[in-house]
Amino acid sequence: MAHTKHRKQTSRPARRAARTGRRALRREAPTTVAVLTDPGDFAAMRAYRSFTFDDHATYLRQIEGLLRSLASRGIHVRVGPFDPGEYAEYCADTGHEPDSSRTRTRYAADVTTAGPTVPYTGQPLELLVTELEYEAGRQATWERASGILAAAGECAGCGDDLARTSFDRASQALMRLLEAAGPGHHHLVCSVPAEGGTLLAALHARCDDQGMVHLVEAEALVCCTVLAAGIAEDSPGGVVLRSGTSDGRGSPPGRPDEVRGWTLRDGWLQPLTEAQVFNAYCTDAASGDPVPPEPGVLHRPGFVLPPPEDG
């Protein structure tokens, strides 16, 4: 007598519940889209036959449509840059075929998520590209400054870890500066001369009436690292602080913004005079030519910061 093996059947409600669960998980799983923001990078990718786009503007419109479609389904989307040079290295290291859309997808998943990305929240593509370029520049600055710190070694004469000591000093300096600046909105720029070009980092902060400082930790980390690199290298860097009562859209009538400055000397921020602040703020950094002062902005001397607490 023959025996027939019956497959266990899944009920229709169970299958429907499984599909619903998968859709819910898909919405919770983040998606990273790698974008060719630069026309030169776009032109480089056209060398691959599997890359079917032939117009950068059309490509960007298609990317924007994809982002909107993903966001409309409740999917959390982040956008990162697609670097053709890095992509070629990735293919050489992994052995993947470079002229393949599947490889490009793998690259976006394996490499781009570890690099600079920004969330897509429905902003226009032009703004998204600007945010991405800013984030990429910030990460590149952090990596360069971190490399300088990593090569700093030990403090001569004391044996301390120079990188750690320099970072501690930089953190103290920036926090004491912002706390002393008082209530309002503050825009701080650190600049440190370095091999390969000046390191620049910006930080936006708000100090409330209770003396609490509110800032973006990622910005603070880059600023601290840049300033620490200057301390470790004994570099003649500097800090400029612009303070006002608004959030960057200009102070109310009768309440002009104030600009102060400090130079990095002997491992600490030393205040500039009002004349030095004026000269620094009204001189083109690249050419050295004078720049007309901005209307409604007051140039003030930097204030003295309490000395560091090296422990």
Question: What pLDDT is stored for residue 211 in this prediction?
Answer: 84
Question: What pLDDT is stored for residue 246 in this prediction?
Answer: 60
C-alpha distance from residue 49 to each of 35, 45, 143 (Å): 18, 9, 34
Provide the CA 294 distance to its chain's centre, in angstroms: 27
Q: Domain residue spans in the chain?
A: 20-122, 160-299
Which residues have C-beta within 8 Å of that of residue 139, sequence separation ≥ 6? Answer: 115, 116
Question: What pLDDT is stored for residue 184 in this prediction?
Answer: 92
Partners of 240 in beta bridges: 189, 261
Amino acid residing at 186: H
- Residue 257 dihedral angles phi and psi, to the nearest 5°: -70, 155
Question: What pLDDT is stored for residue 29 in this prediction?
Answer: 47
Containing 172, the helix (H) or strand (E) segment is: helix 162-181
Q: Locate 254 and state its tokens.
A: 């009768």
Which of 230, 253, 242, 227 is CA-nearest to residue 178?
242
pTM of the model: 0.76
> Rounded CA gap, 175 and 213, in Å?
8
> Rounded CA gap, 47 and 208, in Å?
54
Partners of 264 in beta bridges: 269
Q: Residue-wise pLDDT tens for the chain (311 aa)?
A: 444 445 555 566 554 544 444 444 344 445 889 999 999 999 999 999 999 999 999 999 999 999 999 999 888 899 999 999 999 999 999 999 999 999 999 998 887 767 888 999 999 989 999 999 899 899 999 999 999 998 887 555 554 688 999 999 999 999 999 999 999 999 999 999 998 889 999 999 999 988 899 999 999 999 999 999 999 999 989 999 999 866 544 444 557 899 999 999 999 999 999 999 998 888 776 667 888 888 889 999 999 998 887 65
Got the DSSP string for 1-16? ----PPPPPPPHHHHH
- Residue 4 dihedral angles phi and psi, to the nearest 5°: -105, 125
Contact of 229 with 149, CB cutoff 8 Å: yes
Q: Locate 166 and state its tokens.
A: 């320099």
The dihedral region occupied by 119, where left means phi > 0, alpha psi between -120 and 50, and beta the remainder, is: beta
CA-based max dimension of the chain: 106
| Dihedral over alpha carbons 119, 123, 128, 134 (to 10 degrees) | -80
C-alpha distance from residue 52 to each of 97, 100, 236 (Å): 16, 11, 50
Question: What pLDDT is stored for residue 227 in this prediction?
Answer: 96
> Rounded CA gap, 72 and 69, in Å?
5
Find where tokens 């781009």 sit: 112
